[in-house]
Amino acid sequence: MKTTRRRACRVLSTCVLALVTLMPGLILTSPAVAAGCAAWWAKKQYCQASPTTRVRFATGSTSKTVTGELVNLYDQDTFVFRARKGQHATISVGSAPGSVRIFVYRPSGQLLDGAPGGVDIASLPVSGDYRIRTHESQMGEPWSGKYALTVTIK
């Protein structure tokens, strides 16, 4: 049941993100409205919830490359890495760098940084698990495909 709830939360956040992206003038006034919108989008199969992938560094290594795949505008991949306060983090997309937008979230869930192709965070603010979400960048031509994401922590 815990896994089902987590999946439902990911679907809801993906759907709300898609709604806000497509209809910036839309104001979701209550959780019931947001839940109704999410259910509608999920039935339409616009929301693609993927499992979270943990980025694990080999002993003594400061960098790890993982792969992901985006199949449509509403798809997203989620990665998690553990880091300590003050460490320097560089997250980049090696293939199709302008087509993939990266968002990095603090352990609290608050957005820390985001940009097409990659981010460079000179000093992480707290210790813990940071979440990376990747989406197709809407700043260019429509794109879907596989990509390589490199996370470097020093």
Question: Is the confidence at residue 153, as pLDDT, over 80?
Answer: yes
Single-letter code of the amino acid located at 6: R
CATH code for the part of the protein at 52-153:
2.60.120.380
Output 33 or 140, whichever has higher pLDDT: 140
Output 88 or 49, whichever has higher pLDDT: 88
User: Nearest to residue 108, comparing CAs of 120, 132, 126, 88?
Assistant: 126
Q: What is the DSSP letter of 40?
A: H
Tell me the two tokens of residue 42: 């999920």
User: Which residue matches tokens 């940071």?
Assistant: 130
Give this prediction's pTM.
0.67
User: Counting beta carbons within 10 angstroms of the beta carbon of residue 42, is it exposed (0 to 12), middle (13 to 18) or buried (19 or more)?
Assistant: middle
User: Nearest to residue 95, comparing CAs of 135, 151, 140, 150?
Assistant: 150
Write down the domain spans for the chain: 2-43, 52-153
Residue 154's pLDDT band, with cuts at 50, 70 and 90, is very high
pLDDT of residue 84: 96
Question: Is the confidence at residue 152, as pLDDT, over 80?
Answer: yes
Question: Is the confidence at residue 7, as pLDDT, over 80?
Answer: no
Cα–Cα distance measured from residue 92 to residue 113, given in angstroms and rounded to the nearest whole number: 12
β-bridge partners, 120: 90
Cα–Cα distance measured from residue 96 to residue 91, given in angstroms and rounded to the nearest whole number: 14
Tell me the two tokens of residue 70: 């985006």
Residue 11's pLDDT band, with cuts at 50, 70 and 90, is very low
User: Which residue matches tokens 């910036």?
Assistant: 24
DSSP line for 80-142: EEEE-TT--EEEEESSSTTTEEEEEE-TTS-EEEEEESEEEESS-SSSEEEEEEEEE-TTSS-
